[in-house]
């Protein structure tokens, strides 16, 4: 029994070390992709602080003029008001498919530029049936920087290709 427990413990330790090495040695493009996936996940899990936390303090969307505080405030309001009256679940979902994004690392390995498509869907429930409707598709160009807290978005521009921002 002791030998089995020791073997199990060694497996966990080596697995953890292996995963840590994998994460630390992953290409910067891969790590930026993980960061973008995490931002999508934070939006879908109704976590405005974590979602806006991916934006630098001096973040600016050049298209709208919105900064970090405005985006965070908008997300908080959206999460509070866009809820199903019965289930209280958030009524929107975003997807940003990895096969529709491009990440280019800058001359400095701590900078990157990403181009991606984000699709926002409204979740509708009627008579036990759940459906989704595409309400906004937007193409985003983002400048990112890797700092002490990991990757953060510094600047964006965006262009709507379908629908418009959720209200």
The string of pLDDT tens digits covering residues 100-125 is 999 999 988 899 999 999 999 999 88
Q: What is the pTM of this model?
A: 0.82
Question: For position 85, what pLDDT does the model report?
Answer: 86
Question: For position 22, what pLDDT does the model report?
Answer: 45
With a cut of 90, say whether residue 144 has pLDDT above it: yes
| Average pLDDT of the segment spanning 77-84 | 93
With a cut of 70, say whether residue 64 has pLDDT above it: yes
Q: Which fold has domain 27-163?
A: Nuclear Transport Factor 2; Chain: A, (3.10.450)
Question: For position 29, what pLDDT does the model report?
Answer: 92
The 3 state secondary structure assigned to the chain is: CHHHHHHHHHHHHHHHHHHHHHHHHCCHHHHHHHHHHHHHHHHHCCCHHHHHCCEEEEEEECCCCCEHHHHHHHHHHHHHHCECCCCCCECEEEECCHHHCEEEECCCCCEEEEEEEEEEEEEEEECCEEEEEEEEEEEEEEEEEEECCEEEEEEEEEEEEEECCCC
């Amino acid at each position: 029994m002791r030998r089995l427990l020791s073997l199990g413990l060694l497996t966990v330790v080596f697995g953890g070390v292996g995963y840590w090495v994998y994460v630390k040695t992953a290409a910067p493009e891969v790590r930026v992709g993980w960061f973008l996936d995490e931002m999508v996940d934070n939006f879908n899990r109704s976590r405005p602080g974590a979602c806006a936390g991916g934006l630098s303090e001096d973040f600016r969307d050049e298209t709208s003029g919105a900064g970090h505080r405005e985006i965070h405030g908008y997300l908080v309001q959206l999460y509070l008001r866009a809820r199903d009256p019965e289930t209280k679940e958030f009524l929107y979902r975003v997807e940003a498919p990895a096969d529709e994004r491009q990440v280019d690392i800058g001359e400095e390995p701590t900078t990157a530029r990403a181009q991606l498509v984000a699709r926002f869907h409204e979740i509708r429930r009627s008579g036990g049936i759940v459906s989704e409707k595409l309400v906004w598709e937007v193409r985003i160009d983002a400048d990112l920087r890797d700092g002490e807290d990991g990757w953060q978005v510094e600047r964006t521009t965006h262009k709507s290709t379908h629908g418009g921002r959720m209200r």
